Amino acid sequence: MREQLPALIVVVPLLASLVAPLVAYFSTALVRLVAIAAILVANISAIGSLTHALTKGNWHYHFGDWAPPWGIELVIDPLAGAIAVLISFVSLVVVIYAGPYLKEDGWLKKGIFYSLFALLTTGLLGMVVTGDVFNLYVFLEISSLAGYALIASGGNKAVVAAFRYLLIGTIGASFYLLGIGYLYAVTGTLNMVDLAEKLPLLMDSPAVIIAIVMLVVGLGTKMALFPLHGWQPDAYTYSHPAAAAFIAGVMGKVPAYAAIRFFFFIMGAATGPVYKALQIMGWLAAAGIIIGSLMAIAQKDFRRMLAYSSVAQIGYVVVGLAIGNSLALIGAVLHIINHAIMKSCLFLVAGGIQWRTGNVSVEKFAELNKKMPLTMGALVIAALSMVGLPPTAGFFSKWYLVLGAIEADMWFYVVVIIISSLLNAVYFFRVIENIYMKKASEEAKDKDKDKGKGMFELPLQMLVPIVVLGLGILVLGILNEPIVSQVIQFVIPGGGQ
Amino acid sequence: MAPEILLDYRPLWAVLISLVAAVLILFTGERRSNLREAWTLIAAFGKVAIVFSMLPLVLGGQVIEIAPIHVAQGITLQLRVDTAGMLFAALASFLWVITSFYSIGYMRGHHEKHQTGYFASFAVCLSATMGIAFSANLLTFFVFYELLTIATYPLVIHKRNAEAIKSGRKYLAYTLISGQLFLIAIIWTYITVGNGDFLAGGFLTLEHGSAGLLGLMFLLMTVGAAVKAGVMPFHGWLPDAMVAPTPVSALLHAVAVVKAGAFGILRVVGYVFGPELLGQIGAAEVLAWFAAFTIIVSSLIAMNQDNLKRRLAFSTVGQLSYVVLGISLLTPLGFLGGMYHIIAHAFMKITLFFCAGAIYVTTHKENISEMHGIGRRMPITIAAYTIASFGIAGVPFIVGFISKWNIALGALQGGYALYVVVLIASAMLASTYLLPLAYLGFFKKSDKFTEYGEARKDMLIPIVITAVLSVVLGILPNFGANFYDLATMAAQSIVQSIELVGGGW
């Protein structure tokens, strides 16, 4: 089994996805176990593959023993391994959390939910571990389709949001497909390693330049880079609350990871058209950081506020790529990891509040700390991390980004990041103020359709994931050294410092 | 004369003990309040024991370090106990013990709500303060500095009313914005030098950039620290933050938080830039002007405040600028006086705030105009208040005199006679805004306060202790924790010479 680990990362959740509705027909308790077990296996396989990559070097796994460039190759390098661990971990946490949310649903709904959830996990993991750009497209579509369906299952408004995302997302994916089509036309290969060998000589060809533009638009749409983010706030806000944390936390990050793959591993970003493309993306991201934060301040719906905050936060990652020196790249990758944890945590909390009280509006959050002290504690930690205050994880990604920006003498980005921190403080402290300082109105108390009256906190299945992620933010903050020194330093092509 | 370095984890325990206590306090909760208060007291005594156990080593010329926690190449979190850090830590940990008793008396006597959150935040603040005192480099310093900002916020908004929320927002706006400016300067330093390890005498030199750029860096850093130290025009949050319960004002807004700002300026001036470089680029002189301006103007504003706590707050603003002024003179005695004033002001101002709180809890009076004749009812409290007021005004044989004397000598050392005038003027102003209460309290008759009725014992005893210590330290400045020696050693290490020309006290 050991030598098949990379395949297990993708195959096991895929199988779980296929059998889920069938299992659900016989036992709804079992389908939950199957989903959790499958994602756990994926998680363990990802950890195993990462360890292998760290100790013995990059792992090239040939699917069905077909040698590339003809066969499909999975490549686990430290970056892919780390992101795969991250995705499967968040997925695992969220699937555990989903339990109480689905309690009242019938077998079909449960079966479909777990099936789609496992499929989404498969797609995202596949995008990360694959070594083939077309294969990446396939997994991108798998994850997108599962994502559309999960978003649409959130209720009436969600259907519209999902349809909008479906249209925009499909166009984005098509741009990506066209982009790799051009690359295939000039190089005759789809394998990443092969492409990386052949492309440097062709960087000035118009076809490659068009491919880069297509990739920027395609991946930019999928990661909701300003101004291609129109689909995102609605989709995150109205998606199925049990899956929102996974969708919002991770789905936007994987295209960002793909951008790092293309621009830094396959093409080389130091000079030429990629460099210029990244500069343009950097400016867009900077605008997105400011506008996303301002829009977040204007929101009353907690989930929508978080969604706009994601528009800003993905900007941090892209700014890191645009700065392009090793410190900024460390910052960008660290921020992918940190933000996935923070944003998932926040969406889990939002879902918890919604489950318990039915409220999503920040103004109605008064005195929640009395009902859910631990959940609110996690929210405060995550909020401080979003603002970027030490010693939380968010501070350290900001630290590296600013280090990189100052080293590169790009003071504009320093100013943008600092202003954004302060804007983050404005809207997160507003939430904290609402929770801890407002008095709940009598009317609100009466209408309180509290599902767990008198109960302390949320059910354990929901509480444990929230607390784990909340503590995770602190742990990532204080102990990020192993991640930076062992994993992320390999991110910089050529294994720089 | 490189100091001997000793590897020891006591600084880390000193930081962590109250953090652990905060968690225990949160989980003990409102219902078992005696157990909850026990955690506070255990942590307070434990912390002071740990800190004072390191004192002889530091006085013996040793430096205590923990093994650095690496974040990445060149970026480490590290704690180190040097003389200046020891001075601040010993002060804060000792006063925390006293304040803990007082806090318990105040919160119970006043039937405050949210006491669990209050005591937990208080404990976290003390952890952050220890961290600030023991930070070995700029990053560690910043981590604890921001932690202090956040941990103080729940205390400022303790009353949960509109006024408290407004003050809380103002507080966050001032501290977070300045914190981010501080952060830019810190990261800039890391890029230019490669690390940010504090070094007595400073590690930046003119080789690291032009005078203009270094001046800008200095400006960003001092703004970051000056906001907490309440240097005008960055003082706006401090009087508003007085809506917090009085023990918070006493320990945090007279000792820990604002002194963290003053201590930050000390680190920036003495351990990052160093007197030599600042002398070359002339940036410290600007800081000294701001400090002198603050000293005079805040005293004038204080005179117009009727609310006792607000008056004390403006007095704090002025007194902190003594510290800043002393440091920015860049002379040996200036450093010595500035550092000793951290101690002196702490003892005197905490006494004054304790008195204000005792009066408030006992009589529910906040305004000075309502306190006629209060000395008949609370003679001990008002006597303590009077002693501390004389101290702030700089009367000899009370601790405030020693620091002011040294700052004045430091000013003459640097050839700035003008600042001596400022100090004298400020001393007179201080007596005009602090002493009226003592006078009204003892000599004006009023039918409101006829019977004797002192504050609760657990509030009164701390008041007496700090008032007595203000006098004792005024006569024996080395009493207890060798504060004067610590300040002397730190000043010597910053100016890198054994002789402190002149002689001081």
Residue carrying the six token digits 């410190």: A327
Q: How many CB pairs under 8 A join A and B?
A: 69
Query: In this structure, what token pair is assigned to residue B33?
Result: 């309040």
Q: How many CB atoms lie within 10 A of CB A146?
A: 24
Better-scored residue on pLDDT, B448 or A25: A25
Q: What does the pLDDT read at residue A293?
A: 92
* Cα B24 from Cα B8, distance rounded (Å): 26
Q: What does the pLDDT read at residue A1?
A: 61
- Our CA angle for B92, B334, B501, nearest 5°, is 125
* Cα B429 from Cα A433, distance rounded (Å): 39
Name the minimum distance, in Å, from the CA of A40 to any CA of chain B: 30
Nearest to B184 among A414, A436, A484 (CB): A414
Would you say residue B501 lies in a domain? Answer: no
Q: What does the pLDDT read at residue A89?
A: 93
Would you say residue B92 lies in a domain? Answer: yes
Residue carrying the six token digits 């951008």: A259
Inter-chain residue contact B168 with A433, CB threshold 8 Å: yes
Instruction: Give the CA-trace dihedral at A263, A264, A266, A272, to 10 degrees.
Output: 60
Asked if residue A217 lies in contact with residue A175, where contact means CB atoms within 8 angstroms, the answer is: yes
Inter-chain residue contact A436 with B160, CB threshold 8 Å: yes
* Cα A407 from Cα B190, distance rounded (Å): 10
Would you say residue B502 lies in a domain? Answer: no
Query: In this structure, what token pair is assigned to residue B89?
Result: 């830590």
In terms of CA atoms, which chain B residue is nearest residue A479? Answer: B71
Which 3-state string (H, E, C) describes B27-90?
HHCCCCHHHHHHHHHHHHHHHHHHHHHHHHHHHCCEEEECCCEEEECCEEECEEECHHHHHHHH
- Interchain CB contact of B190 with A (< 8 Å): yes
Which residues in chain A have their CB less than 8 angstroms from residue B165's CB? Answer: 433, 437
- Interchain CB contact of A330 with B (< 8 Å): yes
DSSP 8-state class, residue A262: I
% of chain A residues with pLDDT over 90: 34
Nearest to B180 among A418, A436, A484 (CB): A418
Nearest to B71 among A384, A421, A480 (CB): A480
* Segments of chain B scoring below 70 in pLDDT: 1-3, 71-74, 449-450, 497-505
Mean pLDDT score of chain A: 86
A105-126 pLDDT, tens digit per residue, is 888 888 889 999 999 999 999 9
Query: In this structure, what token pair is assigned to residue B120?
Result: 């937990």
- Interchain CB contact of A297 with B (< 8 Å): no
Name the minimum distance, in Å, from the CA of B71 to any CA of chain A: 4
CA-atom Rg of chain A in angstroms = 22
Inter-chain residue contact B180 with A480, CB threshold 8 Å: no
CA distances, A7 to each of A134, A140, A142, B424, B433 (Å): 17, 17, 17, 80, 78
Write the DSSP assignment of A150-197 as a string of letters: HHHTT-HHHHHHHHHHHHHHHHHHHHHHHHHHHHHHHHS--BHHHHHH
Q: What does the pLDDT read at residue B111?
A: 76
Nearest to B165 among A406, A422, A437 (CB): A437
- Interchain CB contact of B162 with A (< 8 Å): no
Asked if residue B267 lies in contact with residue B198, where contact means CB atoms within 8 angstroms, the answer is: yes
B250-300 pLDDT, tens digit per residue, is 877 778 888 899 999 999 988 888 888 888 888 888 888 888 899 889 888
- Interchain CB contact of B146 with A (< 8 Å): yes
* Cα A125 from Cα A10, distance rounded (Å): 6
Which residues in chain A have their CB less than 8 angstroms from residue B69's CB? Answer: 478, 481
- Interchain CB contact of A485 with B (< 8 Å): yes
Would you say residue B500 lies in a domain? Answer: no
Q: What does the pLDDT read at residue A43?
A: 92
Asked if residue A103 lies in contact with residue A130, where contact means CB atoms within 8 angstroms, the answer is: no
Asked if residue B247 lies in contact with residue B357, where contact means CB atoms within 8 angstroms, the answer is: yes
Band (pLDDT 50/70/90 cuts) for residue A214 is: very high
The mean per-residue pLDDT over the stretch A212-237 comes to: 89
Query: In this structure, what token pair is assigned to residue A387?
Result: 């603002």
Which residues in chain A have their CB less than 8 angstroms from residue B168's CB? Answer: 433
- Interchain CB contact of B70 with A (< 8 Å): yes
> Residue A424: CB partners within 8 Å, gap ≥ 6?
A293, A296, A309, A312, A386, A387, A388
Q: What does the pLDDT read at residue A77?
A: 85
Quote ipTM for the complex: 0.81
A401-428 pLDDT, tens digit per residue, is 998 898 888 889 999 999 998 999 989 9
Report the number of distinct structural domains present in chain B. 1
Residue carrying the six token digits 């100013």: A415
Inter-chain residue contact A389 with B169, CB threshold 8 Å: no
Strand partners, B106: none
Would you say residue B478 lies in a domain? Answer: yes
Name the minimum distance, in Å, from the CA of A487 to any CA of chain B: 12
Residue B85 CA from chain centroid, whole number: 12
- With 0-12 CB in 10 A as exposed, 13-18 as middle and 19+ as buried, what is A85? buried
A50-94 pLDDT, tens digit per residue, is 888 888 888 888 877 787 777 788 888 888 888 999 999 999 999
Which residues in chain A have their CB less than 8 angstroms from residue B149's CB? Answer: 389
Name the minimum distance, in Å, from the CA of B35 to any CA of chain A: 20
* Cα A44 from Cα A182, distance rounded (Å): 37
Nearest to B71 among A402, A481, A497 (CB): A481
Q: At what angle do helices A460-478 and A326-357 cross, to 10 degrees?
A: 160
- Interchain CB contact of B23 with A (< 8 Å): no
- Interchain CB contact of B105 with A (< 8 Å): no
Band (pLDDT 50/70/90 cuts) for residue A295 is: very high
Nearest to A391 among B143, B172, B187 (CB): B143
Which residues in chain A have their CB less than 8 angstroms from residue B75's CB? Answer: 399
* Cα A410 from Cα A413, distance rounded (Å): 6
Backbone torsions φ then ψ of A372, nearest 5 degrees? -135, 70
Name the minimum distance, in Å, from the CA of B177 to any CA of chain A: 7
Residue A10 CA from chain centroid, whole number: 17
Residue carrying the six token digits 């009204």: B440
Nearest to A403 among B69, B143, B191 (CB): B191
Nearest to A396 among B71, B147, B160 (CB): B71
Which amino acid is located at B63 in the chain?
Answer: V
Write the DSSP assignment of B327-380 as a string of letters: HHT-SHHHHHHHHHHHHHHHHHHHHHHHHHHHHHHHH---BGGG-TTHHHH-HH
- Interchain CB contact of B184 with A (< 8 Å): yes
Would you say residue B503 lies in a domain? Answer: no
* Cα B155 from Cα A77, distance rounded (Å): 48
In terms of CA atoms, which chain B residue is nearest residue A430? Answer: B169
Which residues in chain B have their CB less than 8 angstroms from residue A402's CB? Answer: 183-184, 187
Structural domain including B424 reads 4-495
Inter-chain residue contact A390 with B142, CB threshold 8 Å: yes
